[in-house]
Amino acid sequence: MQISFQGELGSYSHQACSEAFPDAVPLPCSTFETAMDQVKEGNSEYAIIPVENSTYGRVADAYYLLPNSGLFIIKEHFLRVHINLLALPGVSLSEIKTAMSHSVLLGQCRRFLNKHKIKSLSGIDTAGSAKIVSESNDRSKSALASPLAGEIYGLDSLGVEIEDMKNNTTRFLIMSNKKKNFHFEKNKKFMTTIVFQVKNIPAALYKAMGGFATNNVNMVKLESYMVSGTFTSTQFYADIEGHPDEEKVKRALDELVFFTSFFKILGVYECHNFRKFNS
């Protein structure tokens, strides 16, 4: 079974893939869209896509692609992001002058880099930076990347878990071209992901959201973005706790639909254990 993801081997998406599907064959892709297309074309079983990070925030490109991808969300995965300083074998920390990585990761290790007077260099991505260091003979170069990247590219870890925020976590969505029907069970917790556009009437969004409040349904995520290249048409993405067959969720969705011109369920799936223990 192949799982497609955006990035190089050793990226955090690759690590998430290995955790969620330990026996799967990773299929690295250049873009999120390519990773999703591999599923639609039957080359991979699933695509694993990052959508938000507890430190950095949302992955805007992913949210834009999800509604029109033609795929369904069948699972979520939370990855604890550990950042290591990786260098050529035998190099000491005192020799390191520069650290290369994606700009997001560079911003998450400022304390360590400042302490050791290491200059930041922006790279295309994390695992790609590790690959560049592994192919270089420059002992002063290092990369900020996952422990997995260090293993794959034969680099030593001169700094382990050096991230500033020790609760740094990324949420991934697992996408399939087949809808998975999880039947409602009272002893299980579910998430439902939806996209919708409200009607062009006064207070439509306020009225549409009212059903979740009155029916005691928790909405944990709400994103908005423009569609059709206009400033007047807005689409919303939302994650809610519960299953559509659950009575209170059904009532809330019925009220939402009444005030929308477009509504679609992108996926119904079980909550990841991370939610259960961090709620």
Q: pLDDT tens digit string along 76-104?
A: 999 999 999 999 999 999 999 999 998 88
| SS3 call for 248 | helix
The residues carrying an active-site annotation are: 170, 172
- Which fold is adopted by the domain 2-81+169-176? D-Maltodextrin-Binding Protein; domain 2 (3.40.190)
Domain parsing of the chain, residue ranges: 2-81+169-176, 84-159, 190-277
Q: Do domains 2-81+169-176 and 190-277 have the same CATH topology?
A: no
Task: State the architecture of 190-277 in CATH terms.
Answer: 2-Layer Sandwich (3.30)
The pLDDT assigned to 166 comes to 86
The pLDDT assigned to 151 comes to 96
**Positions of the chain with pLDDT under 50:** none
CA distances from 82 to 12, 29, 69, 128 (A): 9, 22, 30, 17
The pLDDT assigned to 61 comes to 82
Q: Are 116 and 99 in contact (CB under 8 A)?
A: no
Instruction: State how far the Cα of 255 lies from the Cα of 228, in Å rounded to an integer.
Output: 26
The pLDDT assigned to 230 comes to 61
Q: Are 45 and 241 in contact (CB under 8 A)?
A: no
Instruction: State how far the Cα of 272 lies from the Cα of 19, in Å rounded to an integer.
Output: 12
Q: What does pTM read for this prediction?
A: 0.90
On whether the 84-159 domain is CATH 3.30.565.10, my answer is: no
Find where tokens 């299953």 sit.
Answer: 243
According to DSSP H, which parts of the chain are helical?
12-20, 32-40, 60-65, 103-106, 110-115, 126-134, 147-152, 204-214, 247-258, 273-277
pLDDT digits (tens, 9 = 90+) for 140-177: 999 999 999 999 999 999 999 999 988 889 999 999 99
266 CB neighbour count, 10 Å cutoff: 21
Q: What are residue 98's DSSP bridge partners?
A: 119, 141
